[in-house]
Amino acid sequence: MAILPIDSGRYGTKEMLDIFSEQKKVNYQLEIEGTAAISQSEIGIIPKTAGKIIHNAAMSGKITVKRIKELEAKSDHDTAALVESLSEKCAKNARPWIHYGLTSNDLVDTSNSMQMRDALKIIEPKVAKMALLLAKRAVQHGKIPAVGRTHGQHASIISFGLKFANWAAEMAKHVERIEEIKKRILICKTLGVVGTGSLMGAKSLEVQKRVAKRLNLFPADVTTQIVPRERYAEYVFELALIGATLEKIAVEIRNLQRTEIGEVAEQFKKGQMGSSAVPVKRNPTKSERVSSLSKILRSQIAITFENIPLWHERDLSNSANERFVLPTAAILVDEMLETMIKVISSLMVNEKRIVDNLYITKGQIFAEFVLEALIKKGVPRFIAYRDVQRVAFEAKDKEIQYIDAIKNDKAFSTKLTKKEIDSIFSPEKHLGASPLIISNVNKLVQETVKKFI
């Protein structure tokens, strides 16, 4: 019976969930056992025939979670049960060499790295896809003047596409970050009980190097009995950082979908119900889901930092919680990426509402450019600032258009012609460097994610 939503498949793709299934975890650890045996046999640590037998048995697919659990019920040790189940599938002459020179965490930590490796193979292309989708939207909406808001208030005019360009650039940076952290987090460790390679001696480093290469991992430089948990903290932090960016996008979509703003909306498919009680509602539920899951994802960071300072060469105070944290982080960010890809792909943009919102303040959004015009006419900044503010507040109180208030005030009419004032109140003239910024971001994204295209 499923207890958590990720157990029932509500969140996370089948592809991602499979990485963290019980049998898959066993298969990863068996692959480590088989690869270590082959590597040891190649350099004379164990007999060649034993290495081949162990490897073949480990990779046979005949060792099941069910059998391991039966053995674990007696030994109360999951790794010992796995080694015993492997032994059952090997000839007697090979059995003494199974798990030779290894310790439990060689399997646990290296299999964690294999899970992270495969999780990133799923996550990274989706991050790249998000970057491309956002860059495309940035270009598509780049010439639309829109309200730029600070503190929840109308501030000045932006290109609507600039919102998407900001997000696209950050998703491209996440691709860079993923690439950069791989060499630090995808660590292979086969150095035994306290990280000295004691039974294999100096050859232990060569074994580890060979195992790492076969598993597409990086050999550890130095460990205790475990891989330093700074590596896991960095991995979870990066996944949470991706989640935070996705939440940033989701929050903006939720705000822009407010009835009072109405500039965007999540696609509402035929037959969908927004509310069980109010038939007319179209709620941004997908973006809200991303915001909700992001909170759980971020909470995992603190746990990984708590796991860094362990006793001496190790203790078990990290072990139980990592069984939750590592799968949870990957599954949640996978779900969030899947969700936001769908949202951005089908996002409805109401261009008319975007333009209409520019004039909600009756033209006061152009105040920055009125101020600039006065300064260029030689009016000291703070005198100009006070006049712009004074007339704006008066116009608001009287509920009149800001442009009319300016034309009828001597502080402006004596400095600016009506033609110059009219020119100021043309929104398309105030996009600044937005077209160039969007173009540059599009190029950055294309270059960063080209291997995924």
List the catalytic residues: 151, 275
Strands 264-265 and 153-159: unpaired
Please say whether the dihedral angle defined by the alpha carbons of residues 370, 373, 379 and 382, taken in this order, is positive or negative.
positive
DSSP β-ladder status, 153-159 and 145-150: antiparallel
**Backbone φ/ψ region at 93: left (φ over 0), alpha (ψ -120 to 50), beta:** alpha
Task: Name the residue among 227, 127, 113, 125 with its Cα closest to residue 174.
Answer: 127
Residue 166: strand pairing partners:
none
* Backbone phi and psi for residue 277, each to the nearest 5 degrees, phi listed first: -110, -30
Cα 269 from Cα 285, distance rounded (Å)? 13
- CA 137 from centre of chain: 20
Write out the H or E segment, with its range, that includes residue 187.
strand 187-188
DSSP alpha helix (H) spans, 141-215: 160-185, 204-214
* Cα–Cα nearest to 217, from 190, 183, 178, 179: 183
Dihedral of CA atoms 449, 442, 244, 335 in degrees, nearest 10, equals -50
Structure token digits, residue 31: 């692959």
In this structure, the number of other CB atoms found within 10 A of the CB of residue 400 comes to 14
Give me the torsion for CA of 233, 239, 244, 248, rounded to 10°. Answer: 160
